Amino acid sequence: MTGVTGMTQVASAGGTSDAVPSLWTIAAAGDKLQAPSIEYGKLSPVLIVLGAAAVGVLIDAFAPRKARYSAQLFVALAGLAAAFAAVIGLAASGAGTTKAQIAGMGALAVDGPTLFLQGTLLLVGIVGVFTFAERRLEPAGRGGRVDSFAAQPAAVPGGEGEQQAVKAGWTTTEVFPLLLFAVGGMLLFPAANDLLTLFIALEVFSLPLYLLCALARRRRLLSQEAAVKYFLLGAFSSAFLLFGTALLYGYAGTVNYSAIARVISGADAVSDPVLADTTGNDALLLIGGALVVMGLLFKVGAVPFHMWTPDVYQGAPTPVTGFMAAATKVAAFGALLRLLYVVLPGLRWDWRPVMWGVAILTMLGGAIVAITQTDIKRLLAYSSIAHAGFLLAGVIATSEDGISSVLFYLAAYSFVTLGAFAVVTLVRDAGGEATHLSKWAGLGRRSPLLAAVFAVFLLAFAGIPLTSGFAGKFAVFKAAAEGGAGALVVVGVIASAIAAFFYLRVIVLMFFSEPQADGPSVAVPSVMTTSAIALGVVVTVVLGVAPQYFLDLAGQAGVFVR
């Protein structure tokens, strides 16, 4: 017992404040409370998106039902485009390279990786809004055309309330503000520069995603089940992340990234020598670091924390699946990179072997289990797990090339994913989307263009040359090999070969089998889904044929600010 036992003793101790923690006492004179200084310019992308989300909530509360769709669409697109312009402006002013700095009183780091990932996320968000707003696929109700979200999410599936809502042609326009809130959290996630911001950003983007998963118009039981699974497992993993945060705080006495790194490297002494056997203890550091990394690996969907991925990807409405698959991966890998490269570089001899194991399990596990899948959405889910493994190989490189190759891979992968899931929304039969693989047989004969586009995406997933997938995989594996992870690259190439098998199997199925008599038809979408798919094709081809400009861009962005 060295300290104090209660408030009264502190008060009576009065002037002898040296022995007393300065929790309840302040120095007598001088110190004025300093107002925090916030760099609004540097934070403008996040602020614009969250502001647009708040406006969207107000529209849904006050605007008449008929006006909501167009107003929400306008606000969402305008907000995301303005935020993207702000990111470009920041990058042009050198905020990503020479003027990288810590903003918001140490809460956020605005540097190259942050701006690159924020730009990618905003483009993903814009394409996501396009697929969310598609209204040509479902048969029109009495109240006009409807999208792929539930008429009345609160109504019991198959119940009277649902029938009335469907008949009236209601739609859930709340999806647009939910998407904007999710994008806002994702913009914060890779920028987070202390553990508190990391946790808050994680929750800000996860909670809207849980809700979006539950809002499918068709197959609502599946959709609700996916939401429950995603929510319970997501909350479980974020509790682990939070406990890890608490232990790291106990170790270092601070939640700031660079301050923790300094304590780990021994540059700063751990608080009080009296506390040395309890705090500043390596067990706290190792367990805390492991728990935080675990929480992030869950969001990334790495084996063995991948169990939620196939069910959630299958059950969620397909536009949400596409958005979630692309954007969550971008945001979570950004946060994982920053955590491992800024906070825990002093521990890399401890975390690298673990990440080796996780990367190998993820690559092989995702690729092998995907072979047995019969549902196209589940297949793409396992393929996303395998891709998380390839990305982890770049993370393990622990070099500047490692950072920039992961950034490039994320940008390439996210547009392929968005495009592929947008194609899935178009192949439909009487029950909605026809996601079973047997229904896709002979699609190339019925609808050659759509099948060819989907084949391009599958080739990009497989990493065939002249697609963005090849350029990304090459960059990641090159960085990993140079970072001393040659064996991992060998495993990665084997996993790619296994993965290529099931991608090619789908292509063979589409082009070389007889179409079924009761096969699905291909819906004709509006310009929005068309542009989402077209953008996916363009990015896939451009990043595959001429990747150098974008590799340079990612290369310039490949340094974290401390």
Site residues (vs other proteins, CB under 8 A): 1, 21-23, 153-154, 156-157, 195-196, 199-200, 203, 207, 210-211, 214, 220-222, 224-229, 231-232, 235-236, 239-240, 242-243, 245-247, 249-250, 253-255, 271-272, 275, 278-279, 310-311, 314-315
Minimum CB distance to other proteins smaller for 254 or for 529: 254
Minimum CB distance to other proteins smaller for 150 or for 554: 150
- In sequence order, which residues have a C-beta less than 8 Å from that of residue 70 and are 6 or more positions away? none
Minimal distance, residue 163 CB to other proteins, in Å: 15
Minimum CB distance to other proteins smaller for 156 or for 493: 156
Minimum CB distance to other proteins smaller for 38 or for 82: 38
Minimum CB distance to other proteins smaller for 77 or for 222: 222
Size of the chain, expressed as the number of residues it contains = 562
Minimum CB distance to other proteins smaller for 63 or for 228: 228
Task: Count the neighbouring beta carbons within 10 Å of the beta carbon of residue 502.
Answer: 22
Q: Give the H or E element holding residue 87.
A: helix 65-92
Minimal distance, residue 527 CB to other proteins, in Å: 33
Minimum CB distance to other proteins smaller for 217 or for 220: 220
Dist. CA 358–CA 532, nearest whole Å: 33
Q: Which residues pair with 429 in a beta bridge?
A: 432
Minimum CB distance to other proteins smaller for 51 or for 253: 253
Q: What strand order describes the sheet that includes 521-522?
A: 432-433, 427-429, 521-522
Minimal distance, residue 330 CB to other proteins, in Å: 22
CA 313 to chain centre: 13
Q: Give the H or E element holding residue 363.
A: helix 348-371
Dist. CA 57–CA 539, nearest whole Å: 33
Dist. CA 406–CA 359, nearest whole Å: 14
Q: Give the H or E element holding residue 123.
A: helix 112-132
Of 502, 500, 480, the C-alpha closest to 490 is: 480
- Outline where DSSP puts E strands in 328-448: 427-429, 432-433
Dist. CA 318–CA 421, nearest whole Å: 6
Helices (H), 253-347: 257-265, 282-300, 308-315, 318-338
Minimal distance, residue 113 CB to other proteins, in Å: 25
Minimum CB distance to other proteins smaller for 225 or for 482: 225
CB-based burial of residue 366 (10 Å sphere; 0-12 exposed, 13-18 middle, 19+ buried)? buried
Minimal distance, residue 240 CB to other proteins, in Å: 8
Minimal distance, residue 275 CB to other proteins, in Å: 6
Minimal distance, residue 120 CB to other proteins, in Å: 26
Minimal distance, residue 308 CB to other proteins, in Å: 11
Minimal distance, residue 206 CB to other proteins, in Å: 9
Dist. CA 325–CA 329, nearest whole Å: 6
Dist. CA 369–CA 281, nearest whole Å: 41
Task: Count the neighbouring beta carbons within 10 Å of the beta carbon of residue 272.
Answer: 12
Of 65, 24, 54, the C-alpha closest to 204 is: 54
Of 214, 183, 145, the C-alpha closest to 49 is: 183
Minimal distance, residue 226 CB to other proteins, in Å: 7
- In sequence order, which residues have a C-beta less than 8 Å from that of residue 146 and are 6 or more positions away? 135, 138, 140, 169, 171, 217
Minimal distance, residue 102 CB to other proteins, in Å: 16
Minimal distance, residue 502 CB to other proteins, in Å: 16
Minimum CB distance to other proteins smaller for 189 or for 457: 189
Minimal distance, residue 353 CB to other proteins, in Å: 25
Minimum CB distance to other proteins smaller for 156 or for 494: 156
Asked whether the bond before 304 is cis by omega within 30 degrees of 0, the reply is yes
- In sequence order, which residues have a C-beta less than 8 Å from that of residue 334 and are 6 or more positions away? 113, 114, 117, 189, 190, 191, 410
Q: Which residues pair with 216 in a beta bridge?
A: 149
- Residue 104 dihedral angles phi and psi, to the nearest 5°: 60, 45
Dist. CA 313–CA 299, nearest whole Å: 13
Neighbouring C-alpha atoms within 13 Å toward the C-beta of 64: 2
Minimal distance, residue 246 CB to other proteins, in Å: 4
One-letter amino acid of 437:
L
266: three-class secondary structure by DSSP: coil
Q: Give the H or E element holding residue 370.
A: helix 348-371
Minimum CB distance to other proteins smaller for 242 or for 393: 242
Minimum CB distance to other proteins smaller for 111 or for 162: 162
Minimum CB distance to other proteins smaller for 264 or for 533: 264
